[in-house]
Amino acid sequence: MTKNLASLFCGALFGLGLTISQMSNPDKVLAFLDVTGNWDPSLMFVMAGALITLATAQHFILKRQQPICDTKFYLPKTNLPIDKRLILGAIIFGIGWGLVGFCPGAVLAALSDSKFEPFLFTLALGAGMMLFSCFDNKK
Amino acid sequence: MENFTPYSAFFGGSLIGLSAALLLYFNGRIAGISGIISGAFNVKDNDRYWRLFFLGGLILSAALFNHFFQTVSVNYSRSTILLIISGVLVGYGTRLGNGCTSGHAVCGLARFSKRSAAATVTFMVAAMLTVYVTRHLLGILQ
């Protein structure tokens, strides 16, 4: 139960961060991606804030043997190679991201506005994920 | 650059970083949203409930913040077909590439992961090119 409550709290912080930084606004994100237009570098400051905070905190957290509510840290292996799947996946995601300006976290925060577009995008996002699990034979 | 908001961006980003740090501290998990979404709906995984709570918290806090503090209304208007195509690409691509903006560009980069650095550069460039082509070459999707 503590685990779920901690998750709820972390999710709430994440949603607050996305909303305060306006990353849930797709036009704001597109303005960052539009480097040759009326460029808005705000997203870089979002990343800087997140990276400085996380990298510093993580330095101390990972000195522990295990997290508070679990027996181990679930970290992706760092020695895996950069492969075709990673790059192709990133290209496909990047194109989708550039078309509308929603990434998975941002669209969830935007859902709270109760507008039709974020709901439709979320459904399509789920469909894309299901499509992947149906056709991916590597797992 | 008249819409540039460095302070709220940096502060909001710090909250995102703090959220990822606390999730690691308490549950030992990475705050990658695309992974959390797909894992939350994987019924074979008995350890999926923390993910549902995380997503619930994210949506709830954004809703509360918007309810009390949002002053400008956000323009979401996009064509239906564009939203569907874009959503499917984002869903498929983040599963194939094992992460999105939060998983690769925040959590991965904070761990100095080479794979995440490669993914981040790739999706940033792909997204910037997409905007360049649609806005400036084709003159659509303003």
Contact B105 A47 (CB under 8 A): yes
Please give the ipTM for the structure prediction: 0.95
Contact B21 A54 (CB under 8 A): yes
Cβ within 8 Å, pair B8-A21: yes
Mean per-residue pLDDT, A46-56: 97
Inter-chain CB proximity A20 and B4 less than 8 Å: no
Domain membership flag for residue B123: yes
Rounded average pLDDT over A38-50: 96
Quick check: A128 and B100 CB within 8 A?
Answer: no
Cβ of residue A65 closer than 8 Å to a chain B Cβ: no
Model pLDDT, residue A138 = 63
Can you list the residues of chain B whose pLDDT is less than 70?
1-2, 71, 142
Distances (CA, A) of B6 to A21, A46, A128, B102: 9, 8, 33, 19
Q: Does A26 lie at the interface with B, CB-CB under 8 angstroms?
A: yes
More confident position, B142 or A98: A98
DSSP secondary structure string, chain A? -HHHHHHHHHHHHHHHHHHHTTTT-HHHHHHHH-TTSS--THHHHHHHHHHHHHHHHHHHHTTSSS-SSSSS-----SS----HHHHHHHHHHHHHHHHH---HHHHHHHHTT--HHHHHHHHHHHHHHHHHHHH----
Q: Which structural domain range is residue B109 located in? A: 76-142
B137 occurs within a structural domain? yes
| Residue B32 counted as domain residue | no
B-chain CB neighbours of A22 within 8 Å are 5, 8-9, 12
How many domains is chain B partitioned into structurally?
A: 1
- B30 is a domain residue: no
Give contacts of B 24-83 with A, CB under 8 A: 24-31, 33-34, 37-38, 41, 49-51, 53-63, 65-66, 70, 74-78, 80, 82-83
Q: Which residues of A touch B120 (CB under 8 A)?
A: 90
Q: Tens of pLDDT along A22-36?
A: 999 999 999 999 999
- Whether residue B67 lies inside any domain: the answer is no
Domain extents in chain A: 2-135
| pTM for this predicted structure | 0.95
Name the residue of chain A whose CA is nearest to B22's CA.
A10
* Predicted pLDDT at B92: 97
The alpha-carbon gap from B71 to the nearest alpha carbon of chain A, in Å, equals: 12
Give domain status of residue B58, yes or no. Answer: no
